[in-house]
Structure 1
């Protein structure tokens, strides 16, 4: 998560002003304009009832822990039919901010990132709004499906592309049948014939008597 711009968000909290002895609470309920901006950035058809509340507490000498709860209703196109699909999300969010993570990465740029995905490098600011949008992005269904669309019906496509269905594939099946009817080899049958011919190169032609009788 990149550092926030203090001048662009009223939700940013300066780490140096956070209390070390008691939690700093927050509660975000973005208005329609902000939700529309987030929906556009995340390629959502619609975003409603977005909220993020929680607290930030000190941990150890230098670290900070953000615990929160994310709630949102998102609308995405069905991955099969493209009809709008509404999903309610309720997610627990955990982030651990530490300055030592930044030190380790700077010392060895080729080092692997830690397995704990909740770890974040600590800067001068912590922005709950940025954490909220990142958590929302991670919680989105990868392949939303409309009601009645089962796994056997799923046909995935690249974003913005129309999924290919069984009906779309029928012309290709018809072409294969036409080629077979005319004695033309399809790519699959040609490969099978080649494999059969090379399995036993010493075998004689049909009708030959291996014993010479």
Structure 2
């Protein structure tokens, strides 16, 4: 799929934006769905433009839309989410990889090295992966309290783990003795 949508940088006009409008086929949707571990993927679209920034850099601006179905983290039931997010990538001709091991790239950094091609389809799949809910949860689904212990012993509860729960119990016992 990506080879069909790659834009050769040498062929891009310097003085006008190059529009793109991606709406993957059913086969491509199924491939993306499998790659991202989704239960379902519908209405995927990525519309935008690539435009020159200065003499040697390029900016891709687009709007990603999709309907995804993921398993609920609690019940594993299907959870449907609509994603509509803006996407921006800046392709820099003078990109240098940081050499220091402790160098951290900011989370919101949208810069990438400029290669011979800009591929909106790759940007689309990457942006979709980043926009997916990390912990999809069905409405009303909650984790209940689960107690584990050896047979014949009383299970520890969340209340037992609180730092001053034991002291409060001791205080109450001392008050009864008075």
Bin of the TM-score, shorter chain as denominator length: 0.7 to 0.9
TM-superposed deviation, 1:176: 3.1
Richer in helix (by share): 1
TM-superposed deviation, 1:114: 4.0
> Which runs of structure 2 are paired with 1:24-173 in the superposition (5 Å)?
24-101=18-95, 104-105=96-97, 108=99, 110=101, 112=103, 114-115=105-106, 117-149=109-141, 153-154=142-143, 166=145, 169-172=146-149
Q: Are 1:20 and 1:57, in contact at CA under 8 Å, matched by a contact in 2? A: yes
Count of paired positions: 155
Q: Are 2:73 and 2:136, in contact at CA under 8 Å, matched by a contact in 1? A: yes
Richer in strand (by share): 2
Q: Are 1:105 and 1:111, in contact at CA under 8 Å, matched by a contact in 2? A: no
TM-superposed deviation, 1:32: 1.0
Task: Show CA shifts across 1:52-72 (max 9, x none).
Answer: 000000001211000000000
Where does structure 1 differ by over 4 angstroms across 4 or more consecutive aligned residues?
none
TM-superposed deviation, 1:119: 0.3
Q: Which runs of 5+ in 1 are unaligned?
A: 1-6, 155-164, 179-187, 189-213
TM-score (norm 1): 0.67
What is the rounded CA distance, in whole Å, between the counterparts of 1:81 and 1:173 in structure 2? Answer: 26
Higher relative contact order (CA 8 A, sep 6+): 2
CA RMSD of aligned residues (A): 2.2
Q: Which runs of 5+ in 2 are unaligned?
A: 156-160, 162-178
Q: Are 2:2 and 2:122, in contact at CA under 8 Å, matched by a contact in 1? A: no
